[in-house]
Chains A and B, each alone.
Chain A
Amino acid sequence: MNTETHTPQAAALPPPPGARDVMLTLVRREFWEHTSLWLVPAIGAAVLALLALGASQATINVDLAHLPRISADDRAMITNVSQDAFLGIVYLVASVVVSFYALDCLYSERKDRSILFWKSLPVSDGMTVLSKFLVATVAVPFGALLLATASHLIALTAWNTRAHFGGFPPLGFDLTAWLRGEVFLVLIVLLASLWYAPVIAASMLLSAWVKRSPVMWATVGVLGLLLADAIVFHTGWVWSVIRYRSNGIWRVLFANNDMNEHTHLLDTLHWGAAFGHPNLWLGVVAAGAMLYLAARVRRYRDDT
């Protein structure tokens, strides 16, 4: 290996961007191209906040004297349930956007031939593929959590403001319950990202692979496998794999939980069993392998 001797003018330039800066640039790039990645969850969170503001303006004729007092436990539960509901809705719309993104991200650059531009710059295929994966499994899900949290805080404030002027029983702000709720959601989002990592990676591999229309290939592929299994093999295996990858980890996490004591979910759920589940980590390993393949395909395919 010969080492490069740099010209003096090269030395005058600012220090080269490190791997972390490059990765941040690559992630920003994804949000420039796929604006729906942040726009759709942001709209979802904004709509929720607006609905909450609207609801807090509603007039209700309730005689407060006849309402049973809300206990501290109930207030904590309402806080947590509403936190969950806000995240659930924002996360749901984000998941839809992410699904299409994962199928599109390595295909669109080939379709519009911009891959020739991206490849004219010193960014490895591995970094590129990894950046897209991190967008789908870290940036968007945790971004959705931030948006949902902000939206929920607006809703809480609206509720409490209205309560302050009468009409609603005040909820107050139970910091401990709220923090526990946030920790719970962070763990849920993290677990979901790990569990669904192979699904994202498989979508990206398909996106790097197919000649056209990855969304159609994904649909036809899954339906085709299901049909072939149902008509020819009668094993039900394909369906069970899909079902398992959809809810398997949640069945482990929520096993034997009667879901009645929401405030204690953080304590009663089987976190150890879920995060220590071999199929979770096998899935992550499989995702790594598929990402590696996707990077190889991007590196060596030549169809521009």
Chain B
Amino acid sequence: MTAVIEARGLAKSYGARRALAGVSFQIESGRIVGLIGPNGAGKTTALKAILGLTAFDGELKVLGLDPRTQRDQLMREVCFMADVAVLPRWLRVRQALAYCRGVHPRFDEQRAREFLARTDIQMHSRVRELSKGMVTQLHLALILAIDARLLVLDEPTLGLDLLYRRKFYDTLLNDYFDKERTILLTTHQVEEVENLFTDVLFISHGQVTLASTVEELGNEYLQLNVSADGAARARALKPFYEREVFGRVAMFFQGRSAAELAPLGELRTPTIADLFVAKMQGTPA
């Protein structure tokens, strides 16, 4: 299986600020990849480069195409959803469907209608009359109906309540995702979606600080919870980050075996959220 996205030395500066400092990564087909990083880390810039929305330096192939010069062709196979506010407020639901049908060779209107029928959204409603959650559902309906190979989501659930967020990701997993498709997702609510990811890509200060499948993460990284007295012995094994929680110390190790660590305390696989914080705040491993 060839890579869906291949970036080599991807770089972009806004004036003096370097948003992406020559990053390289590869995303395989059939994966759900979490692009995770603090604000201003370069996530959105990376997504914009992938979608051909911004100029950049370096090499980038998306589905074998160059987003700079072959954007129109690329967008037939790529779907993109930014945060909830991008559907124009004057647009009617009916018009949104007619528009997609009119311009997209892979839009299945029936599918979109079936999905919308399960919501409270009316065909004649305008986007401005819908709640934030409903706007997202409408956008999701359009995306589900497009037979794309790559779906890029940039903070798709920002500002939605928990119920809508849950519904959004459930629909995405159950009705959309399959082994032919790839989803690239950024979000700040990492805890909620970490079970979704098959891969993670941490990005910080314009650099990729971690790129791994979730499976490998469990082998590579371990979290050890030790009592305060046992901390010194564990610290000798050089955790790259530690944090005190209710009198116990949570230490994060890279490249240590479970056998080595298990006798020292309670061993567990770190959550992606914890690992992210550890990676961002700890010393570079």
Contacts and interface: CB of A to CB of B under 8 A. Distances in A.
Interface residues of B, number: 39
Please list the 5 inter-chain residue pairs (A to B) with the smallest Cβ-Cβ separation, ordered nearest first: A25-B102, A16-B105, A114-B88, A120-B80, A122-B75
B92 A32 contact: yes
A2 to B, nearest CB: 5
B55 A26 contact: no
Contacts of B89: 112
A74 interface: no
B103 A26 contact: yes
Interface in A279-304: 299-300, 302, 304
B77 interface: yes
Interface in A110-127: 112-114, 116-117, 119-124
Choose among A22, A24, A28, A119 the residue with the greatest number of B CB atoms under 10 Å from its CB.
A119
Contact of A25 (B63, B76, B103): B103
Contacts of A28: 98-99, 102
A261 interface: no
B86 A17 contact: no
B72 A124 contact: yes
Given A2-B64, A10-B106, A28-B98, A116 B147 contact: no
Contacts of B79: 120
Given A10-B147, A28-B98, A32-B95, A17 B75 contact: no
A21 B102 contact: yes
Nearest to A34: B90
B228 interface: no
Contact of B147 (A13, A29, A123, A299): A13
B48 A22 contact: no
B54 interface: yes
Contacts of B95: 29, 32
B55 A114 contact: no
A190 to B, nearest CB: 27
B147 to A, nearest CB: 6
